Each structure stands twice: as C-alpha cells, then as structure tokens.
Amino acid sequence: MDIVSNREMLIEARKNKYAVPAFNIHNLETMKGVIEAAYELRSPLMIATTPGTVKYAGLEFLVAMARAAAKKYDIPIALHLDHCTDVELLKQCIQAGYKSVMIDASIKSYEENISITREVVKYSHRYEVSVEAELGLVGGQEDDRDIDEKDTTLTDPHIALDFIQRTNVDSLAVAIGTAHGVYKSEPKLDFERLSKINSMVSIPLVLHGASGVPHESVIKAVENGISKVNIATELKIPFAEAIKEYFKENPSANDPRYYLTPAKDMVKKIAMEKIRVCGSANRY
C-alpha cells in the first residue's frame, strides 16, 4: 500500500461519527510512535508535518519514511502538509508525493483566502490530492505562525457555507475556541456554533489546537461534526520529558538508540490514548 489521500478516510469518519487523528511528527521516532499506535489499534492515520518540519527533516526523507510505513503496515496512512502559507512549497510537497495538504490563508482577507484556496484546490485536485483550508482564526503558536488571543476570530456558519461553495475545498478547519500550543486555562469550545456549521455544510470539519483540550470536550466536538483532530504539543512535551528523564537516570548515556526509545514509546502511548478518544480504533 502507498500513502493515500485523506479524502475517503475523512468522509468515512464523518459518516460514522468518529474522527481521524492527525499527529504532527518531527523525526523518525515520533513518526514510528504514532504509526505503531495506529497499527496496534487498527486506526486510520494522518501523519502531519508543518513547513518547519519539512525544512528540518527534508521533504524526500519524510515522503520515503511515510511510504515505507504504508508498505509495511496494512492501515491507511495519509501524509499531510499542515498550516502551509507558501503555495510554491505546497506544490513541491505534492510533486514529492504528499496526498493531503492544508493551505492556510486565514490571516488574509476573506476574498484573498478564497482566491488562494481556490488556486490550491484547482492545482491539487489534478493530482488527486485533498485540500484542507481554515476559516476564522485559531490563536496560539504553530510553527512560525503566532496569533494573539485577542486577534482570534470564530468561524461564522453562513460564511463557512459560502467559502466551501466558492472554493470546492475537501475539509475545513473551524475556529470554535481552541488554540495552538499550551493552554493557560481550560478552553471553552463553542459546540453550538460547531453543530450549526456541521448542519449547513457537507464536508468534514477539522479541530486544530486539540492538545490540552479535555477528552470529554474532544468527544463532544466529534459528536457535533469534527472528523479530524490535530495533535502536536501533547506529543512534543512528553517526548522531550522522556529524554530528560532518561539522562537524569543515565547521566553518562550517549547512544541515541537508548535515550530515544523511551521517548518514542511515550509518543506511542499518548497516540493510543488520542486514537481511543477520537473513536477511530478498530475501523480497519
């Protein structure tokens, strides 16, 4: 099996009221952790990479690792470009083998967002690549993108419908009160707004900034229309803490095969927990 588009897996998730987890990875160990979790729990999987991760790890290496995983494990695996604002980089990722991309023009004016998204959709669909866009403005820091809380904008249901009709986008990230990064207090999600958007549109909806959101809130978001849940910070912090703990117990250690293994295992543990919360276990 090769890496696949997320289009069918998200349509299936929306139909059956569960969500596909999209885990932001940064290296071989974080990728292996989420893949092993998804394989053991028989869950569809999205491996998400930000433009920063593409720059760090290398486009060809990321595609090769994802393809190796798709060939080895008999579950659907989508390689996804997350929060991309650079259309040329997005096209490079598609040419390299990505089957799922997110164009994030949410900081632009509404008409500019539509124009840029429409261009990306037209290009991507020629290669059978699915496109996610964002409407509204999710706050917090994601890669090099940092939106102050006071500048966040929640998604308007009526505008969401117009946006989808004019762009033909495959999935839509909505702003309903979440934020990227670490929360200072428990986020308050606007489930009424989410439910109304879901009732008006016919494509899968995406929840960004899910790290740190209580499990019951994620479950309720899925019940109200979320078909994809993004997880990043809740993998990074435990990964780093596991390495710190290993060196605390083994101060003279120097073999990355040993100090990276508990970090990878921690990512796997968290990923399994998130898969169960999303309801995507035992779907394949």
222-258 pLDDT tens trace: 999 999 999 999 999 999 999 999 999 999 999 999 9
The answer, as to whether pTM is greater than 0.85, is yes
Q: Decide if pLDDT at 194 tops 90.
A: yes
Question: Own/partner pairs for 121-128, CB < 8 Å, 24+ apart?
Answer: 121/167, 121/168, 121/169, 121/170, 123/91, 123/94, 124/90, 124/94, 125/168, 127/94, 128/5, 128/99
What is the pLDDT at residue 183? 39
The reply, when asked if residue 96 is annotated as ligand binding, is no
Tokens of 205: 């909806």
Contact 38, 45 (CB under 8 A): yes
The single residue listed with the structure tokens 């929840």 is 207
What is the pLDDT at residue 3? 96
C-alpha closest to that of 276 among 218, 236, 193: 218
153-181 pLDDT tens trace: 889 999 999 999 999 999 999 999 876 55
The reply, when asked if residue 230 is annotated as ligand binding, is yes
What is the pLDDT at residue 143? 54
SS3 content of the chain, % helix, strand, coil (to 5): 50, 20, 30
CATH of 7-278 among 3.20.20.70, 3.30.465.10, 3.30.2010.10, 3.40.50.300: 3.20.20.70
Confidence of residue 210 (pLDDT cuts 50, 70, 90): confident
The reply, when asked if residue 144 is annotated as ligand binding, is no
22-60 pLDDT tens trace: 999 999 999 999 999 999 999 999 999 999 999 999 999
What is the pLDDT at residue 138? 59
Confidence of residue 144 (pLDDT cuts 50, 70, 90): low
- Residue 151 is classified by DSSP as G
The reply, when asked if residue 83 is annotated as ligand binding, is yes
Residue 190 among the catalytic residues: no
248-281 pLDDT tens trace: 999 999 999 999 999 999 999 999 999 999 999 9
Average pLDDT (61-67) is 98
Length of the chain: 284
Contact 38, 276 (CB under 8 A): no
Confidence of residue 76 (pLDDT cuts 50, 70, 90): very high
- Cα–Cα distances (Å) from 224 to 11, 58, 198, 206, in that order, read 15, 37, 7, 11
C-alpha closest to that of 23 among 202, 200, 210: 210
Q: Decide if pLDDT at 147 tops 90.
A: no
Write down the domain spans for the chain: 7-278
C-alpha closest to that of 54 among 77, 21, 88, 105: 88
CB burial readout 214-233, b (16+ within 10 A) else e: eeebbbebbbbbbbbbbbbb
% the chain with pLDDT above 70 = 92
Set 2, 82, 170, 255: catalytic member: 82
Confidence of residue 211 (pLDDT cuts 50, 70, 90): confident
